[in-house]
Amino acid sequence: MEIVLQPVLTDLDNNTLNNLGNDISTEFENTRVTVSSATNNSNLMQLKKDITFQSSFDKHRNQWYSPKLLVWFFEKFRPNKDTKILFILDADAYSDGLNYVLGEAYPKGGLGIIYLPRIKQEFYGLKPDNKLFFERMVKESVHELGHVFGFSHCKNLQCVMHFSNTLKDTDNKMRCFCGTCRMKKIIF
């Protein structure tokens, strides 16, 4: 089994992405985590020209519509049953019934997305905190990959699979599965 971290529309450096991959791998036993190269300028130009991709952006909200992006990524990448993909976007997004999402999964498609802006302190007018940003990124990544692997939300407030209604919820939970979720070992 393999998890591929695919940065898109982000300027995260390779060191940060490799550290993220290492931290994710501790939660998904017997699963290799690799980092794909960030989209280069030619790929970015293709994204800007892709009508379906661009139609996922809501100009009135100034946000991306996450469900449409998930379908678009699935159609473009088509992960196989042994590969799961986590897209990392530095873009704000929303979903059905939610003003914003920190991430979202498409379990039947084997992929998920995390959105970086709202896990950064500077989004709220605060001083950047790289350590806190990285911790939130790990938690959101493990959470969305948990969904990709078939986990549902957990009632345990400390579990990484607990639904984060606010960023404080994310900060208060662990970066790992609780004992109950760990025992499920759904796929990996």
Residues noted as catalytic: 144
Query: Which residue in 151, 153, 122 sits closest to 136, CA to CA?
Result: 122
- Say if 63 falls within a structural domain: yes
> What's the rounded Cα separation, in Å, for the pair 126 and 131?
14
- Say if 183 falls within a structural domain: no
Residue 79's pLDDT band (cuts 50, 70, 90)? confident
Structural domain tally of the chain? 1
- Say if 88 falls within a structural domain: yes
- Mean per-residue pLDDT, 135-145: 98
User: Is the pLDDT higher at 41 or at 74?
Assistant: 74
pTM: 0.92
Per the structure, the complete domain to which residue 21 belongs is given by 2-151
Query: Which residue in 21, 38, 10 sits closest to 116, CA to CA?
Result: 10
- CATH number, domain at 146? 3.40.390.10
- Say if 30 falls within a structural domain: yes
Give residue 182's pLDDT.
86
Give residue 50's pLDDT.
82
Share above pLDDT 70 across residues of the chain, in percent, rounded to a whole number: 93
- Say if 176 falls within a structural domain: no
Residue 4 backbone dihedrals phi, psi, to 5 degrees? -110, 125
> What's the rounded Cα separation, in Å, for the pair 10 and 102?
15
Q: Per-residue pLDDT tens for 38-70?
A: 654 445 567 767 888 889 999 999 999 999 999
> Residue 37: which region, alpha, beta or left (left: phi > 0; alpha: psi -120 to 50)?
beta
Please give the mean pLDDT across all residues of the chain: 91
- Say if 96 falls within a structural domain: yes
Give residue 41's pLDDT.
44
Residue 93 pairs in a beta bridge with 64, 101
Tokens of 60: 């009135």
- Say if 26 falls within a structural domain: yes
Q: Per-residue pLDDT tens for 9-44?
A: 888 999 999 999 999 999 998 899 999 876 544 455
- Say if 135 falls within a structural domain: yes
> What's the rounded Cα separation, in Å, for the pair 158 and 178?
7
